[in-house]
Amino acid sequence: MFLEPHFKGQRSGWIEVICGSMFSGKTEELIRRLKRAKIANQKVEIFKPAVDKRYDDTKVVSHDANYILSTPINHSSKLLELTEGVNVVGVDEAQFFDEELTENCQKLALRGIRVIVAGLDMDFKGRPFGPIPNLLAVAEYITKVHAICQHCGNLATHSYRLSEEEGTVVLGEKDRYEARCRTCYHMGNILSLRS
């Protein structure tokens, strides 16, 4: 069954996913793409999980202090309610959203909206994180960005937790996490098990 897009001038929508470890530039890339869409006079809306208040209550802020105004939401269903007449939707910290995020992003794409999602692809234990794996499966475009390992200087793909907290969701920055390559990440986990 073919669904007619809501916007007559726009033929189809799609999903873009920007993923990687902490400190890899995911939010920076998201902001860059959204600002370019605004320069092209497209109507843009950006959303973030209401739980993420690390830098600001309503702004999406990169580690380099670039920012863009956003709407904090508690559930991905709000994306469908708050995007009437929008050309581009941005979603930051997607790993903190509910599992319905993938379905709701697909609904937006079927409306003819370009959906750009940024988030961690793995949690601190190196496991797929939240709805990101499902988004990767359905996205038309995927960009995996890398940080630099703070121990050896190689490309970092893992977020290594420095604190002792056990919960999957522990908000923090450089006080609680480091970007590490695969080898340094696993060496750190082995050493922490010995101590």
* 100 part of the active site: no
Provide CB contacts within 8 A for 53, sequence distance 6+.
none
Element (H, E) at 119: strand 114-120
| Half-sphere exposure for 9 (CA within 13 Å, toward CB) | 4
Element (H, E) at 79: helix 78-81
Dist. CA 142–CA 93, nearest whole Å: 15
Give me the catalytic one of 16, 29, 45, 93: 93
Provide CB contacts within 8 A for 34, sequence distance 6+.
44, 46, 68, 88, 90, 116
Provide CB contacts within 8 A for 20, sequence distance 6+.
26, 120, 121, 144, 145, 146, 147, 157
Provide CB contacts within 8 A for 92, sequence distance 6+.
26, 27, 30, 46, 47, 48, 52, 60, 70, 118, 119
**Residues noted as catalytic:** 93
